[in-house]
Amino acid sequence: DIGNALDTVLAEGLTEEDLDDLDEAVERAHERIERGRAEDEFGYASLNLPTATDPDEIETAVEPVADSEAVLTVGIGGSALGAATISEALGPSDVDHLVLDNVDPAHVRGTLSDLDLDRTAVNVVSRSGTTAETLANFLIVRDAMDEAGVDWTERTVVTTGEDGPLRDLADGHGLPSLDVPAGVPGRFSALSAVGLVPAAIRGHDIEGLLAGGRAAADSLGPSLFECPAYAYGATAYALDQRGFSTNVMMPYAEGLEAFAEWFAQLWAESLGKDGTGQTPVRALGATDQHSQLQLYRAGPKDKLLTLVRVTGQPDCPIPETGIPDLAYLGGTDLGELLDAEFEATEASLAAAECPNVRIELDGLDAESVGALLYEMEAACILAGELYDVETFTQPAVEWGKRAARGLLGGGDFEEAEAVASKERLE
Ligand code: PA5
């Protein structure tokens, strides 16, 4: 619902004429996207994942670790956030999901010491198979398993590209391995083995996630007036052009906190190019109404707020107390309270001339989560076309990877020389 981004609500909102102009640009962008999909071009191929991903292949690959009590994902960025988002959104299972996506020694040691390694599945994910953080963490996990007398080759599943050191390692040890599909950048890979292996080990409905993605794919079309994903991407882009250069992703559901992190990567790494791109910020409703909202409502008028509401939450009645001041709470439900908080925030932002968009999900089940991820990816790709940037590359991220590797003596990289000599960086 983009109503609170329009001039019928906000003085600076988008006019009917703006939307018509945008719609023409959306039609051209949609044609480009469809051509890319039809030819499985790099990046655009991500939008084919709901049909291209084979759930049976994933279920088969994870069979050897079906007895696990925990799955430990070792990956970073796009090789970790999709899986974390899916696990958190689909909720508890008998199998915990932990993620090592940082090389903080205390965190890595602490995580390993809390696990029964004999009953842990290790899910190593790296598209390139060369990322220092992931490979270093995996070597440490492997070593810890050796020390604990656990055969790591029986507890490890690898997802990686066609070649590279991780592929060699998987082949060399006969590990179950899956592909990161060739045309799919990390941050667009949630609906491939990259995002779905932990979900399969945890017993989640991976076919449902893909079915949600397929339903979302069917909803793509040439007009923003009929395609929610494109309406979102186009609105965010148009508002950025008007100075709303920050996009606060604020789900009103604990299960979507990781989603906000996933979105931040998607938006920042895809659209932050050539001096453009909205800055994504992660927030959580209702919690951050008691902290960040002050700034969003009364600070600089440079923010779009994306408010996500989940309907159909379980009942959680609030007991009566007999205390007069609390009488308004008794007999209602936490869901009602959360909804009231949501609606009050949405309206108060609009009243303060802060554009906001509402995304509503019918529950946090596999289909709706699959659709949400797919639609956000489509929105991002659409926005990339409107900005006219290379949505699917991340040269600044790669720069840092090469610099760090070079500094550690992992090769001759000019980026490392530039850092070492403290040259002004371009
Ligand atoms: O989206 C991306 O391309 C990045 O965030 C990568 O996923 C991240 O850098 C990890 O790379 P790799 O999967 O090669 O280990």
Quote the CA–CA distance of 421 and 405 in Å, as a whole number. 16
The confidence band for 423, taking pLDDT boundaries of 50, 70 and 90, is low
Is residue 292's pLDDT more than 90?
yes
Nearest CA to 369 among 198, 207, 201?
207
pLDDT of residue 396: 87
- Ligand 1 atom at minimum distance from 397 CA: 9
The confidence band for 402, taking pLDDT boundaries of 50, 70 and 90, is confident
Is residue 18's pLDDT more than 60?
yes
CA of 338 to the centre of ligand 1 (A): 35
Smallest CA separation from ligand 1 atom 15, residue: 126
CA of 164 to the centre of ligand 1 (A): 14
Q: Which two tokens stand for residue 55?
A: 């759930």
Q: What is the pLDDT of residues 48-84, one digit of tens each?
A: 999 999 999 999 999 999 999 999 999 999 999 999 9
The confidence band for 291, taking pLDDT boundaries of 50, 70 and 90, is very high
- Ligand 1 atom at minimum distance from 75 CA: 15
Instruction: Quote the mean pLDDT of the chain.
Output: 96
Quote the CA–CA distance of 374 and 381 in Å, as a whole number. 11
Give the pocket of ligand 1 (CB within 6 Å).
76-79, 126-128, 131, 134, 185-187, 269, 394, 397
- Ligand 1 atom at minimum distance from 134 CA: 15
pLDDT of residue 352: 97
Task: Using only the alpha carbons of the chain, give its radius of gyration.
Answer: 23
- Ligand 1 atom at minimum distance from 194 CA: 13
CA of 79 to the centre of ligand 1 (A): 6
The confidence band for 95, taking pLDDT boundaries of 50, 70 and 90, is very high
pLDDT of residue 412: 81
Cβ–Cβ < 8 Å for 261, 243: no
The confidence band for 424, taking pLDDT boundaries of 50, 70 and 90, is low
Determine the average pLDDT of the residues in 278-298.
97
Cβ–Cβ < 8 Å for 124, 173: no
Q: Which of 46, 74, 76 to mutate to test the pocket of ligand 1 (most atoms within 8 A of CB)?
A: 76
- E strand intervals along 184-302: 246-251, 279-282
pLDDT of residue 409: 83
pLDDT of residue 425: 55
Q: What is the pLDDT of residues 65-75, one digit of tens each?
A: 999 999 999 99
Determine the average pLDDT of the residues in 87-96.
96
Determine the average pLDDT of the residues in 158-177.
96
Q: Which of 397, 402, 405 to mutate to test the pocket of ligand 1 (most atoms within 8 A of CB)?
A: 397
Which pTM value belongs to this model?
0.95
The string of DSSP letters for 48-102 reads: GHHHH--HHHHHHHTGGGTT-SEEEEE--GGGTHHHHHHHHHH---SSEEEEE-S
Determine the average pLDDT of the residues in 277-284.
98
CA of 281 to the centre of ligand 1 (A): 20
Would you call 42 helix, strand, or coil by DSSP? coil
CA of 223 to the centre of ligand 1 (A): 32
The confidence band for 406, taking pLDDT boundaries of 50, 70 and 90, is confident
CA of 185 to the centre of ligand 1 (A): 7
Q: ipTM strictly over 0.95?
A: yes
Smallest CA separation from ligand 1 atom 3, residue: 186
pLDDT of residue 383: 98
Helix %, strand %, coil % for the chain, to 5? 55, 15, 35
Q: Over pLDDT 70: what percentage of the chain?
A: 99
Smallest CA separation from ligand 1 atom 8, residue: 77
Q: Which of 125, 131, 197 to mutate to test the pocket of ligand 1 (most atoms within 8 A of CB)?
A: 131
Q: What is the pLDDT of residues 100-132, one digit of tens each?
A: 999 999 999 999 999 999 999 999 999 999 999
pLDDT of residue 416: 77
Q: Over pLDDT 90: what percentage of the chain?
A: 91
Quote the CA–CA distance of 176 and 158 in Å, as a whole number. 6
CA of 125 to the centre of ligand 1 (A): 9
Cβ–Cβ < 8 Å for 283, 263: no
Q: Which of 100, 128, 160 to mutate to test the pocket of ligand 1 (most atoms within 8 A of CB)?
A: 128
Determine the average pLDDT of the residues in 161-165.
94
Is residue 419's pLDDT more than 80?
no
More confident residue, 403 or 343: 343
Active site residues: 269, 290, 401
Quote the CA–CA distance of 408 and 400 in Å, as a whole number. 12
Handedness of CA 409, 414, 415, 418 (dihedral sign): positive
Quote the CA–CA distance of 210 and 191 in Å, as a whole number. 7
- Ligand 1 atom at minimum distance from 133 CA: 15
Phi, psi (deg, nearest 5) at residue 330: -55, 135
CA of 46 to the centre of ligand 1 (A): 15
Q: Which two tokens stand for residue 304?
A: 């779009």
Q: Which residues pair with 333 in a beta bridge?
A: 317
- Ligand 1 atom at minimum distance from 77 CA: 5
Q: What is the pLDDT of residues 185-208, one digit of tens each?
A: 999 999 999 999 999 999 999 999
